[in-house]
Structure 1
């Protein structure tokens, strides 16, 4: 009875986490397209400065990506059974989610905090160092670094599923 109850709770948690993640991942690109500036970097920054609402909303939404996918990975790591148990890999994978969430959240949050602050001061030079659209910017680097931790986490957590004949969720 306890195991069955745990499976139902895991399925429910994975379903809710999956729905939240799906909504975020569908809405985020739509807002990104709507707020995508064109032209040279200064023109892009001036566009964002003039119409920051949608740009800010897109990155507020993007800030939900890391927590929602991390929730799903933690559920998979600790509550989804498999033929091969890898508790050390699961723990290491879950631990690597902390720097992922931190770094990616800093990168995304900087777009509606630090970038907007420099734009409100009219300092386009400093703003360019914090503009996510600039591949030489601080948030771009921090984001890419965060996704390295995400990739390592996914590999460690997902390794044990290589030994499965098939994956069928318990709720199917």
Structure 2
């Protein structure tokens, strides 16, 4: 097994950062899109692979956002946001919301939001959240949301990201 060390918790040179990122890529993750209303404008929407549960009581979830993200200020000030867990067939949605340009919402109806959360159609699960806390996470900001409503489908397969690529989840004979 290849080994690399991180000096004092800081990865400074580009080669060390690449090795660290490659090691992190060995952890398979689901893919989600974080959505939030933006006053009088098209909603915020960004793809993340850093989503997980924090607490059942109160119901808390977290995700992290790169400090260079153009939507960071809007997410920090959002009165609410939603985590939309993508299905395997939603790879195009993941790619669309991973881009830092306009047009993310083309063809997706979000209507007049008022006090509603922005939810994407056909996802495996949604978690409607109110901001609970934000923490420094180095070159990321960690958002913790208090879940006020959630829903889940019990059919379909998740969109999986592993080793820098989308992957398909397969049932193994041992799992059957």
Same fold by TM-score greater than 0.5: no
Per residue, is there more strand in 1 or in 2? Answer: 2
Per residue, is there more helix in 1 or in 2? Answer: 1
TM-score (norm 1): 0.22
TM-score (norm 2): 0.21
Who wins on radius of gyration, i.e. which is larger? 1
